[in-house]
Amino acid sequence: MRVRILGSAAGGGLPQWNCACDGCTTARRSGANRTQDGVAVTGDGTAWYLINASPDLRTQLLSTGDLDPGPGRRDTPIRGVLLTTAELDHTIGLFGLREAERLDVYATPTILAALPAVPILRRYTDLHLHELTGEPLTLDGGLTVHALTVGAKRPRYADPGRGDAWVSALRLLDQRTGRSFVYATCLPTWTDAFDAFLAGADVALLDGTFSTEDEPARAAGLTRTPRDMGHLPIADALPELRHHPGVRFLFGHLNNTNPFAAGPAPVDVAHDGQELLL
Ligand code: MLT
Ligand code: MN
Ligand code: ZN
């Protein structure tokens, strides 16, 4: 299995267009650039799936040669999009895929029912929706995907609707090699269910939005804490990692207030364009 980090920042990216915080200012000066969270994954090197579709998706696709179209004029190696939340930083990019001849979207029933992009995209492309319910689903290229609901934080634009499976972690298994990748960039708490879901994975991309519980207050004067925002800080996840010595952990979805986004980091932080071989 190959996993390509398309973007490694939280909503807004780094730097964020209207932000003059220390992190964004440093990034502007140094040229550091992180686009918004998402990855591409393949089992056979031919059939690719996107996990999340950020507002930066066009730029991300154009800088990833493996995702170039062809040989037919409208052929694309992208077989579908797996969504882990319905938040705008994970879903705006769906609109940019409207030129597809066919588009397959995988998400929980809660997310599929809420997404503004769904009724709109139906008018542009042959849209196929696939429900992630907790049962494993077979994908092209020898992959299997399994979803675990990890949070119930509803996007601000959405009304209460079909259930509360708003935030998922995904586990992708390469049936040929037995290797697996866990994607959990929005993780409100480290539950026993998540711990079991993660056990035995080869690589896990975790929630790196905030470094510590007091970061939003210190860096941006916010009263809302990482937990209020549905993001377990890195410092609070670290003790849990020791129980999984065989897993390679990386942190993604870094907020621009996170000092590890633009500076040195004591943990393994994902970078745009990085490729992980499992
Ligand atoms: C999040 O990751 O918590 C959301 O993307 C926040 C937001 O965009 O409002
Ligand atoms: Mn986000
Ligand atoms: Zn900033």
Distances (CA, A) of 267 to 2, 110, 206, 248: 22, 33, 11, 11
The answer to whether the CB of 209 falls within 8 A of the CB of 229 is yes
Which one of the ligands is nearest to 28 CA? Answer: 3
From first to last of its 278 residues, the chain has per-residue pLDDT tens of 999 999 999 999 999 999 999 999 999 999 999 999 999 999 999 999 999 999 999 999 999 999 999 999 999 999 999 999 999 999 999 999 999 999 999 999 999 999 999 999 999 999 999 999 999 999 999 999 999 999 999 999 999 989 999 999 999 999 999 999 999 999 999 999 999 999 999 999 999 999 999 999 999 899 999 999 999 999 999 999 999 999 999 999 999 999 999 989 999 999 999 999 99
Phi/psi at 126 (5° precision): -85, 90
Residue closest to 201 by CA, chosen among 55, 3, 17: 3
pTM given for the model: 0.98
Q: Which architecture, in CATH terms, is 2-277?
A: 4-Layer Sandwich (3.60)
**Ligand 3 is a single-atom ion; what residues have CB below 5 A from it?**
19, 21, 24, 256
Query: What torsion, rounded to 10 degrees, do the Cα atoms 186, 66, 60, 114 define?
Result: -50
Ligand nearest to the CA of 151: 1
Share of the chain above pLDDT 90, in %: 98
Q: What is the pLDDT of residue 263?
A: 86
Judge contact between 142 and 119, C-beta under 8 A: no
Whether the CB of 37 sits within 6 Å of ligand 1: no
- What are the tokens at 214? 């007091």
